[in-house]
Amino acid sequence: MNIPHDHHVAINLNVRGIQPSATLRINELSNQLRREGRDIIKLGLGQSPFPVPESIVAAMREHAHEKDYLPVKGLRALRESIAGYINRSERMRCTWEDVLIGPGSKELLFILQLAYYGDLLIPRPSWVSYAPQARIIGRSVHWLPTHARNNWQLTAEELDIVCRDDATRPRILILNYPSNPTGCTYTDEQLLAIANVARKYKLILLSDEIYGEMHFKGQHKSIARYYPEGTIISTGLSKWAGAGGWRLGTFIFPSELRPLQDAMAIIASETYTSTSAPTQYAAITAFDGGAEIDAYLTHSRRILQAIGDYLHLRLTFAGATAQQPEGAFYLFPEFSKFRDALAKHDIKTSAALCTALLEDTGIAVLPASDFGFMPDHLAARLAFVDFDGAGALELAANDYADQQLDEAFVKQACPRLVLAMDKLETWLGNL
């Protein structure tokens, strides 16, 4: 049969208007510009700069031969290890049956929204993939207002205002802390107040604690302590163990939500089947912990706190406004002080700001509009990860073992980040 050349097949896509993940997009653009010979300082993708601890790598080598499909919910030995980890760190009493393993917490979040029919409540600003996932599935997204004076954190009062008009409506609240994109976290009092509102409206609360082990002082607490019956804890290997590309995430459910866990497992069985076998075996070593991993975390936290403090000081001196980070490897500087000066260069949105910054200085960051803000909110997320993580760990553990990590350490271990601040300060000064 001859098909006319002007014949077009109509393809109606349910991802129309949705762009590829902002963080992955900036990473690919940065890599492309580097291949073209540009000196790009990569502060866009939030990928841990630290190597995977050697004991975990050794476990991966040891189990590289594992080739069988594993149970949909995950390897029992790993689920037991994760239950033990949560019980030690959060003083909880979950069992291995409460644990679900997936190929990254991102995938688990997606199938959670497939399994549970409810609106998604997201504090603004939030990680770039929460809202697009909901839109792909066809769920309603409700942005919860936050304020700079409160470190862009959700308050119990704001949550109550949103829920009270339709008190019985099914909803999933996502709480992510330490926060991507701000690096800020919650106090016990804040968590308790939010938990009380969540209980009042019977919310499903997804506590995204992927950066929990990266609390600078090692004092992260899960809101599951205060709302155990309705909280799902989300974590994985990508951030604190430096194993983003290994793709292993986990949800820990309360027994009250076992039907939801079972529903997610059904979806998993018909989609990804199970998570990579070698990765699951290796992850047991990660979640069992021990002296080596404790030391790795201690030095990682010291390094990230020193960098966060240094960059916060430099950004403030340059005229930007940013919250002091308390965990993870992010800062969320605002440049509203420069609004008039930027407008003279036809820079009126956060996207235009980041494009100009990349073109003029080689600094790659993400615009506030990728994190739920209106286009004219002149802020950006800065991921302070462009440094040699292995070298920084060695320097911190040896030369700085018994002393505080200061500005001299940052300049020695993270010259690319210092260069970024020098370039940014000059760029802002020349507007």
Alpha helix positions (H), 7-143: 22-35, 54-62, 76-90, 105-115, 130-137
Please, is 396 exposed, middle or buried when counting C-beta atoms within 10 Å of its C-beta (0-12, 13-18, 19+)?
buried
Query: What is d(CA 367, CA 349) in angstroms, rounded to the nearest whole number?
Result: 8
- DSSP annotation string for 147-173: -GGGTT---HHHHHHHHHTTTT--EEE
At a CB cut-off of 8 Å and minimum separation 6, what does 137 contact?
Answer: 110, 113, 114
Query: Which among 221, 234, 225, 177 has a CA at the least distance from the CA of 199?
Result: 225
Rounded to 5 degrees, φ, ψ at 248 are -140, 120
At CA 424, angle to CA 332 and CA 366, rounded to 5? Answer: 40
Q: Which domains does the chain have, with CATH numbers?
A: 22-47+292-429 (3.90.1150.10), 66-288 (3.40.640.10)
Residue 2 DSSP label: P
Query: What is d(CA 277, CA 274) in angstroms, rounded to the nearest whole number?
Result: 8
Could you tell me the two tokens for 144?
A: 């919860």
pLDDT at position 3 is 47
Q: pTM for the full model?
A: 0.92
- Is residue 112 within 8 A of residue 206, CB to CB? The reply is yes
In this prediction, the residues of the chain whose per-residue pLDDT falls under 70 are 1-24, 26
pLDDT at position 128 is 80
pLDDT at position 130 is 87
CA distances from 370 to 20, 128, 184, 298, 355 (A): 11, 6, 18, 32, 13
Rounded to 5 degrees, φ, ψ at 27 are -65, -45
pLDDT at position 36 is 86
Query: Which among 132, 87, 143, 92 has a CA at the least distance from the CA of 109?
Result: 132
Cis peptide before 145 (omega within 30 of 0): no
| Residue whose entry in the numeric block shows the structure tokens 């205060």 | 226
Residue 183 DSSP label: -
Query: What is d(CA 97, CA 229) in angstroms, rounded to the nearest whole number?
Result: 15
pLDDT at position 18 is 58
